[in-house]
Structure 1
Amino acid sequence: MMAEQPLNARMVEEEIKVVPTCNGSVKGLAKVVRELMEGERGKQARNKVQQLAAVANKAVQEGGSSYKAMDSLNHQICNWHCS
């Protein structure tokens, strides 16, 4: 779980456009959380997440890029195993 934390943090900052920084205090953290829950940055983050979810959903549907990659891998494994 610790291994993906830097990647998750970078995605939150770069892709979703949310910079989860605070001064280390509980008040600072509460301010950031409140902004994400109620503020404009939170609204923008939710919109971006919905966009990313739509792209990911399309990728796993039949004909999508992830679907095609798994189908190709499956065929390669079957061909290797059956040869």
Structure 2
Amino acid sequence: MIVGEWVDQREILNSVMESICLEVPILAWPMMADQHLNARMVVEEIKIGLRVQTCDGSVRGFVKSEGLKKMVKDLMEGERGKEVRKKVMEVGKAAKAAMAEDGSSWRTMDELIDDVKY
């Protein structure tokens, strides 16, 4: 799905979290604002996705259908895609463990609530 208008950033970040928790690799196609930073985080930092390549190799260049097709194929069948799929499974398991009852996120939320309460 391609969204042509402005999208609430929380929804973007939530969809990244949903992808991680469901162990689904991401094909990042940043177009404006801080989407480039989000793509860098997903591709270079966490390594759970691939970035769509532009025609001229620039960050803000055009993407042709052949390039998009190549990246989808690479993500689904290629060696880089294999690494990304393996990594997103690891990260997804860790994220689910953190959010489970008594996981690190659960405990941190409890601590925050306790701090606010008192």
TM-score for the superposition, normalised by structure 2: 0.56
**1:14-40 deviation digits (Å, cap 9, x = unpaired):** 122634324222111111111112212
- Say if 1:12 and 1:21 are closer, same or farther in 2 by CA, change over 3 A: farther
Aligned residue among 60, 66, 70 for 1:27: 66
Residue 47 of structure 2 corresponds to 16
Cα offset, 1:11, TM superposition: 2.1
Cα offset, 1:71, TM superposition: 0.2
- Structure 1 residues 2-81: aligned runs within 5 Å: 3=9, 5-14=35-44, 15-16=46-47, 18-23=50-55, 24-79=63-118
Higher CA-based Rg: 1
Cα offset, 1:2, TM superposition: 6.4
Query: The residue matched to 2:84 in structure 1 has which SS?
Result: helix
TM-score for the superposition, normalised by structure 1: 0.75
Query: What's the Cα RMSD here?
Result: 2.1
Cα offset, 1:69, TM superposition: 0.9
Indicate the structure with greater helix content. 1
Larger RCO (CA within 8 A; separation ≥ 6):
2
Bigger mean CA deviation after superposition, 17-26 or 50-59? 17-26
Identity %: 41
